[in-house]
Amino acid sequence: MSKIKNDAIRCLQDEAQALLDLIPQLTDDFDKAIELTYQCKGKLIITGVGKSGHIGAKIAATLASTGTPSFFINPLDAFHGDLGMVTADDVVLAISYSGQTDELLRFIPLLVERKVPLIAMSGNPNSLLAQWSNYHLNIAVKKEACPLNLAPTSSTTAMLAMGDAIACALINRRSFQAKDFAQFHPGGSLGKRLLMRVKDVMRTNDLPIVSSQAKIGETLLEMSKARLSLAIIVDNGTIEGIVSDGDVRKSFQKYDNQEVLNISIENIINRNPRVIGSSESIMSAATIFKEHNVHTLVVIDNGVLIGVVESYQCML
């Protein structure tokens, strides 16, 4: 293995270990910080300088997209008008690995004066930033992944991971769902998929429909023509049930192979198939597919056959 690849492996190992080391550093302050943010009537404002600022902007974006109103503010800009964005209803998350960043510390008295709650994220629980905060999140790392132990590497990874931990905890605290995520991502392909309904993807033409008097052989032929794994049984406009390819396979085990094709499908009809309405979300369909281990659903509205939807059409 080349030295270059070894350098990469060592970096990844160091950063992975730095993340694992964060776990025992979690204290009750994390729980309290999450509850403070959840109860916040305003916004979570994130601030930091330099690399911490870049990480803070990403954390703000993640939180905003997962149900926590949030934005990033540079503490330097706060002295030139942006302080007007901060209200007493807000909560501030200040990020500084040293906890001693001068530009950030000069911002803190302004928050104290306005009685804005402060959550600090730093690698130094004894820093001024930690002392002035309501709650402190410890992101101390033993060493940077940088060979010189100088460039922010493991420490910035720890910041980012702690930000993700905050986002994940708030997602669960808010009972934030995939459909909610879609509301914040209407332009993305995932958002579009999450907002789609069964009627947007279902198949309505060339359905394999047979009567209950049809033979298994005839039914197999209709299923083959339609290229579907089931046939829908309809008598006098009423849906009697379905016959799946699994039902047919079982019939070959139950009956004599030479006679099975001439047996009426009435003997193998599933009269309680899994069905879904056309206005249901494809997420609902995906849940049914997973929970009941089926691959095709019959779409029925007000007792009327509308079409079928297959599992691959609802993959997210």
DSSP string of 225-275, one letter each residue: HHT-SEEEEEETTEEEEEEEHHHHHHHHHHS-TTTGGGSBGGGT-BSS--E
| 129 and 8 belong to one structural domain | yes
CATH code for the domain in which residue 260 is found: 3.10.580.10
- Which residues does the chain have with pLDDT short of 70? 80-81, 178-194, 256-258, 316
| 65 and 23 belong to one structural domain | yes
- How far apart, in whole angstroms, are the C-alpha atoms of residue 198 and residue 275? 11
Alpha-helix runs per DSSP H in 241-296: 245-254, 282-292
| 262 and 152 belong to one structural domain | no
Contacts of 163 (CB under 8 A, 6+ apart): 55, 56, 58, 59, 62, 63, 121
In a domain, residue 190? The reply is no
**Mind listing the pLDDT tens digit for each residue in 107-138?**
888 888 889 999 999 999 999 999 999 999 99
| 172 and 208 belong to one structural domain | no
pLDDT score of 34: 97
Q: What's the total number of domains in the chain?
A: 2
| 141 and 233 belong to one structural domain | no
Q: Which two tokens stand for residue 247?
A: 């039902």
| 162 and 261 belong to one structural domain | no
Domain that holds residue 23: 3-176
pLDDT score of 184: 63
CATH code for the domain in which residue 136 is found: 3.40.50.10490
Q: Which two tokens stand for residue 299?
A: 């779409």
| 226 and 170 belong to one structural domain | no
| 90 and 164 belong to one structural domain | yes
pLDDT score of 182: 63
In a domain, residue 182? The reply is no
| 239 and 284 belong to one structural domain | yes
Return the SS3 of 258: coil
pLDDT score of 256: 66
Of the candidates 135, 133, 172, 161, the residue with the CA atom closest to the CA atom of residue 23: 161
Q: What are phi and psi of 186, to 5 degrees?
A: -65, -20
In a domain, residue 83? The reply is yes
| 148 and 267 belong to one structural domain | no
**Mind listing the pLDDT tens digit for each residue in 269-299?**
989 989 999 999 888 898 898 898 888 899 9
pLDDT score of 183: 62
> Within 10 Å of residue 81's Cβ, how many Cβ atoms?
8
Contacts of 36 (CB under 8 A, 6+ apart): 91, 117, 119, 134, 135
| 164 and 202 belong to one structural domain | no
| 26 and 99 belong to one structural domain | yes
Report the predicted TM-score, pTM, of the whole model to 2 decimal places: 0.65
